[in-house]
Structure 1
């Protein structure tokens, strides 16, 4: 694994050595400049470090992914998956997104709310009976499995361990290949093959016996989707949907446990839970960076970009930008409450690629935190420090055991 640091700095934002806490490094990058030259593997690109410039790229119509136009300087395995609209540009992006978005409407989320409550209540009850649980393994992961592959896709509830294993390997593999070891690339290919084979069989069964879940609806919409696209969309929902919600719950509860005054504030004022989720997404976002390509000659932050130029948008850095967020390194569950909330965070991105599954991720996290506050009001961490999953684009804790 090799990389090249910005010419005027002695740090690399993708150095595994800063993985446990990248935020001091992000601050140094922001202090240096909003836009910095960088070699992303062997690709010369620009790092976007500050909030205003990150937001401008994410919302700008001159920015996209450029794969369909053949102008992207990035090599991304995700872009080759049929139906993977996260790497598409309009109008194709909008067509696929519209088909999936029906699973995340306010009406659908309201229908899923009782299920989320039952699942979390059962998981917490088991933890209370044992005297403790792991926030990731015993709460966030089984909740995500119940909601995404089981409820939305109609998959086998007994294969949760496989879904998690596939999801982790593919999520790790969404890091650029130059950040991966050979074993990571092999595991990504193996997991993707197994996952697509499973969903291929599931699609065949649902064709024979139609269902009303999201996967069944995608199959019924056969005039618009090929078999490969349906399977690709199922894989995308499994990986992106599970990874975002699991890491939001893990990172968020970790922040609360490290700031017990904020945990106690939520206990006394549970109406703050919803805005607290926004603070969690700002403070320690599940997604730390994304890539974009200039679709036309354009300008951001006083710098001219030519069509085909690539940028790496450091959304994790933007969330700690003190130019936008007062006391940016302080975790404050009231930051997004009241009549004058803080600026919108980039934890779910912005613009046309705003996370389509955000409502479900919020439902899962709010349900998990609310239930813990009510039924296990003073969890105590078992370990002093945590380890993170190896992925750099996805920031998530590997394990967070607590006593109840």
Structure 2
């Protein structure tokens, strides 16, 4: 296959991947893309032709390559699209799209408040929330929707309580978050009016919330972030808004998919479901295998900081490299029988939380929530029965997960 033919085939496959029909099972398309190898991709929204990579080895190498930047220039363009009078924080980059030394500085300051000890203390509260959600589902006169009744409200409540977002505002924050996640949906054509509205509304809200905490600190993560001092350094107001916005969105959107995808895999594999119900110690492996087998985030990107060659594809400085993480996780060169859900693999490797300096700060919290939710779910469901398979999926290509997973109601509390 010539390079031109390969690039044309890739464009056709990307088109197939974007189609809603691929959402329930994009993995056959990913397999075909992976078979092509690294290939050039030129999208209208890009100033310079880029590339798509999909093997595990290539994705891992790019994530570790210091010549690859996380900065994609999106945030400043978004600020230019905002109406007059919009808060300046809309132009503040999320620190996951920064490079050292800016990223190093912000991550150090955030890590001083977002500690492992703080997350470990949440275990009892998460168990309480899961049990409460299952109890209420058992009382309803309708099927139990694992997504709407458990996977969404659990991480949303946890991160909002951590940050000190009033309970009355949780649903509104969820709506804004849902709108603005369109900004990171893989091969999108650019910001929609809906996503820009969500970004603006969330920024206005967080500016007010943070100003309130600055005037009247509480026992919450926002107040701790305001108070953080490292070598005389602290977070500016706009940095606080950006960081809290990232924690809110990333703190629940991806965990929703992790819990939902894990539950779906268990329901489709009754032996694994029964094994986890009988042995909670298996929860860690179930969560890690879910992160490999059906990750909550399918795509990430980097930008070349210099002219270079990547797996035979020549890139100019400024070229975008799209990493199909979900395809890499099913790479047969990396994992034996990669299309099989198997928590008993000798080694479960994945890139779901990134690598190196950009390794996800919230990974311990997401893992904790998923372990506790899935373990308790298997104890309370009478049997692993799916009322609709495949279930309906969200529209997102990147943040891919079921929109609904209807199952019989959980058993009442013992």
Same fold (TM over 0.5): yes
Q: What is the match of residue 279 of structure 1?
A: 289
Q: Please say if 1:21 is aligned against 2:25.
A: yes
Q: Give the TM-score, by structure 1 length.
A: 0.88
Q: Matches of 1:266 and 1:292 in 2, distance apart?
A: 37
Change (3 A) 1:39 1:381: same
Change (3 A) 1:81 1:246: farther
- Where 1:291 maps in the other structure, the secondary structure is strand
Q: Give the TM-score, by structure 2 length.
A: 0.86
Q: What is the match of residue 210 of structure 1?
A: 217
Q: Is the 8 A contact 1:5 1:11 kept in 2?
A: no
Change (3 A) 1:217 1:105: closer
Q: What is the match of residue 122 of structure 1?
A: 132
Q: How does 1:255-266 map to 2 (within 5 A)?
A: 255-266=265-276
- Where 1:321 maps in the other structure, the secondary structure is coil
Q: Is the 8 A contact 1:153 1:214 kept in 2?
A: yes
2:396 corresponds, among 379, 391, 397, to 391
Deviations 1:9-34 (A, max 9, x none): 4422642242332110110111122x
Q: Is the 8 A contact 2:393 2:402 kept in 1?
A: yes
Q: Is the 8 A contact 2:75 2:93 kept in 1?
A: no
Q: What is the match of residue 106 of structure 1?
A: 116
Q: Is the 8 A contact 1:104 1:359 kept in 2?
A: no
Shift of 1:257: 0.9
Deviations 1:84-113 (A, max 9, x none): 111111111111122223454331121111
Q: What is the match of residue 235 of structure 2?
A: 225
- RMSD across aligned C-alpha pairs, in angstroms? 2.5
- Where 1:163 maps in the other structure, the secondary structure is helix
Q: Is the 8 A contact 1:290 1:313 kept in 2?
A: yes
Shift of 1:331: 0.7
Q: Is the 8 A contact 1:65 1:291 kept in 2?
A: yes
Change (3 A) 1:302 1:200: same
Shift of 1:380: 2.6
Shift of 1:176: 5.7
- Where 1:292 maps in the other structure, the secondary structure is strand
Q: What is the match of residue 84 of structure 2?
A: none
Q: Matches of 2:289 and 2:298 in 1, distance apart?
A: 15
Q: How does 1:14-53 map to 2 (within 5 A)?
A: 14-16=17-19, 17-33=21-37, 35-43=38-46, 44-53=49-58
Change (3 A) 1:315 1:76: farther
Q: Please say if 1:267 is aligned against 2:277.
A: yes
Q: How does 1:372-391 map to 2 (within 5 A)?
A: 372-391=377-396
- Where 1:197 maps in the other structure, the secondary structure is helix
5+ long unaligned stretches in structure 1: none
1:294 corresponds, among 304, 325, 335, to 304
1:367 corresponds, among 369, 372, 386, to 372
- Where 2:180 maps in the other structure, the secondary structure is helix
